[in-house]
């Protein structure tokens, strides 16, 4: 319905925007593709709110280069294949100058070759799989990558949780999960831990009792679940039902309020690594949290929101430095981003167009997300 409605409204809105813009200067069109509905909707919604806040803030302070920013957002319904279609539409019909998105690496991987092909700079706020930016020199990201995240969690498991034998439960249908599992495994084995058993599942599975029973029989003292929040919550819940009461931990794919909503009490004593914590007392974080709460009915922004915000701000910074929205020049300016102070820390693009940032570990205690420690790159 929303789609149908949008296709009806779009021409109307477009005409309105066009006539409005004709008097002033032409707007800067920025495209965003996000999972606003479907399985990973919490990611898309958070990330979109962050991006929207950034764009509204930019426009309120006079826009970029004296021009207003127009954010055109499309929903991929968390489905495979959908991102490619909407990104093609954003580029060819809406003529966007840059593309922001996605959280899930699998869907960023779908869009990246298209953006590269049309030479439209793309910034992924929070896709952590290394392959995303390897798709071409027009693809950037403002977050850390999985080799770092996997290493950080392996060290955390060994040094802070004191785990020796760990089970892996990986989603085989998500590049994010497969990549993160690989890097965790390599480091954990290298620092003297043991991966006792590896079990697999596919996106959308709901029954994990079989895998968990096999894990239980292997006699481990922790499970690493590098998946997304819906499955992570169901896995934790079913693990507790089988009386597996040891730490279950994962990566930034867990970051969503739904984790606690679906998992409930089972999430107590679980850990995950992510990009930022709203508890951080730095002025940049606190002012962002305040602005976000004021704009979105008291909601506390999570890491996806913070990265969504930073992705738009890094783009704005690059447009200012480039002095133009021309593709190749904008690309060069983005690649030259050095020490940009954002909400999630300093962003410096390395030669592979990835940002190097610290990770934070969050735990669930008494039904609340709590900051545990920060791991420097």
Partner 1 sequence: MSEFLQQLLNGLSLGAIYALIALGYTMVYGVLRFINFAHSDVFMVGAFIGYYMGKLVPEGTLWGGLAVLGVAMLGCALLGMTIERLAYRRLRSAPTLNVLITAIGVSLLLEYTGQVFFGAAPRNFPSIFPVRNFQLGGIIVGSNQLIVIAVSVVLMVVLQLIVYRTRIGTAMRAVSLNPKAAVLMGVNNDVVISFTFGLGSALAAAGGILYALNYPSIDPLMGVMPGLKAFVAAILGGIGNIPGAALGGLILGTVETFVSGSQWSTYKDAIAFAILIIILLFRPAGLLGRFTVEKV
Q: Which residues bind partner 1 (CB under 8 A)?
A: 1, 37-39, 41-42, 77-78, 172, 199-202, 204, 206-211, 213-214, 216-217, 230, 233-234, 237, 241-243, 258, 261-262, 264
Q: Which is nearer to partner 1, 215 or 314 (CB)?
A: 215
| Cβ 84 vs Cβ 33: under 8 Å | no
Q: Which is nearer to partner 1, 248 or 318 (CB)?
A: 248
Q: Which is nearer to partner 1, 168 or 360 (CB)?
A: 168
Q: At closest approach, how far in Å is the CB of 350 from partner 1?
A: 34
Q: At closest approach, how far in Å is the CB of 325 from partner 1?
A: 34
Q: At closest approach, how far in Å is the CB of 217 from partner 1?
A: 4
Q: At closest approach, how far in Å is the CB of 200 from partner 1?
A: 5
Q: At closest approach, how far in Å is the CB of 38 from partner 1?
A: 5
Q: Which is nearer to partner 1, 235 or 360 (CB)?
A: 235
Q: At closest approach, how far in Å is the CB of 327 from partner 1?
A: 34
Two structure tokens written together for 303? 């890491």
Q: Which is nearer to partner 1, 57 or 198 (CB)?
A: 198
Q: Which is nearer to partner 1, 39 or 295 (CB)?
A: 39
């Amino acid at each position: 319905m929303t789609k149908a409605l949008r296709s009806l409204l779009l021409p109307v809105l477009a005409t309105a925007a066009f006539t409005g813009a004709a008097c002033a200067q032409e707007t800067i069109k920025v495209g965003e593709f996000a999972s606003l509905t479907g399985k990973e909707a919490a990611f898309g919604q958070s990330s979109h709110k962050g991006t929207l806040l950034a764009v509204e803030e930019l426009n309120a302070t006079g826009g970029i280069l004296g021009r207003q920013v127009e954010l055109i957002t499309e929903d991929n319904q968390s489905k495979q294949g959908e991102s490619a279609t909407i990104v093609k539409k954003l580029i060819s019909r809406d003529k966007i100058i840059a593309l922001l998105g996605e959280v899930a690496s699998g869907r960023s991987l779908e869009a990246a070759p298209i953006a590269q092909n049309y030479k439209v700079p793309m910034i992924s706020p929070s896709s952590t799989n290394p392959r995303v930016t390897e798709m071409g020199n027009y693809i950037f990201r403002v977050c850390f990558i999985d080799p770092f995240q996997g290493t950080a969690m392996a060290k955390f498991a060994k040094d802070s949780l004191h785990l020796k034998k760990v089970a892996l439960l990986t989603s085989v249908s998500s590049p994010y999960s497969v990549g993160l599992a690989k890097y965790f495994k390599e480091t954990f084995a290298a620092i003297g831990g043991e991966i006792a058993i590896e079990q697999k599942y596919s996106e959308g599975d709901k029954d994990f009792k079989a895998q968990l029973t096999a894990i239980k029989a292997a006699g481990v003292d922790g499970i690493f679940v590098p998946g997304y929040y819906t499955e992570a919550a169901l896995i934790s819940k079913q693990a507790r039902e089988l009386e597996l009461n040891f730490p279950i931990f994962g990566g930034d794919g867990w970051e969503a309020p739904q984790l606690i909503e679906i998992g409930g009490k089972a999430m107590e004593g679980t850990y995950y690594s992510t990009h930022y914590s709203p508890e951080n007392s730095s002025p940049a974080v606190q002012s962002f949290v305040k602005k976000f709460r004021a704009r979105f009915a008291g909601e506390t922004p999570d890491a996806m929101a913070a990265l969504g915000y930073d992705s738009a701000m890094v783009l704005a910074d690059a447009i200012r430095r480039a002095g133009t929205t021309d593709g190749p020049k904008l690309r060069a300016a983005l690649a030259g981003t050095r020490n940009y102070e954002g909400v999630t820390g300093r962003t410096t693009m390395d030669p592979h167009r990835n940002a190097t940032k610290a990770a934070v570990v969050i735990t669930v205690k008494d039904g609340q997300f709590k900051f545990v420690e920060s791991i420097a790159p």
